[in-house]
């Protein structure tokens, strides 16, 4: 009985200690070397925005903030 208890305790201790290890985080991740207004080449872009044009990028962000994501202005227009 003591041997089974010792094996069980040792197994639980080893399992608990393996959970403490951290895997190395050496993935590709997000690259921040390109300007945000340079575009992604995706088909899901707003029709009024031109890739690479900083002024149209800023105008689209301003419009989205004022009308699309501002809950107060969306509720007041009804």
Q: For residue range 34-71, list pLDDT tens digits in order.
A: 777 777 777 777 776 777 888 888 888 888 777 766 66
DSSP per position, 51-65: TT-HHHHHHHHHHII
Return the pLDDT at 70.
65
* Of residues 50 and 5, more confidently modeled: 5
Helix residue spans in 1-78 (DSSP H)? 2-18, 54-63, 71-76
Return the pLDDT at 78.
55
How does pLDDT run across 25-43, given as a tens digit for each residue? 776 666 667 777 777 777 7
Q: pTM surpassing 0.85?
A: no
Q: For residue 13, what are its two tokens?
A: 């201790």
| CA-to-CA separations, 36 to 40, 54, 59, 74, in angstroms, rounded | 9, 9, 13, 27
* DSSP 8-state code for residue 38: G
Return the pLDDT at 77.
59
């Amino acid at each position: 009985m003591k041997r089974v208890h010792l094996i069980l305790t040792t197994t639980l201790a080893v399992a608990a200690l393996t959970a403490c290890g951290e895997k190395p985080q050496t993935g590709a991740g997000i690259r921040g070397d390109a300007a945000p207004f340079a575009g992604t080449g995706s088909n899901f872009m707003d029709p009024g925005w031109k890739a690479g044009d900083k002024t149209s990028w800023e105008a689209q962000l301003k419009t989205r903030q004022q009308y699309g994501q501002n809950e107060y202005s969306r509720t007041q227009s009804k």
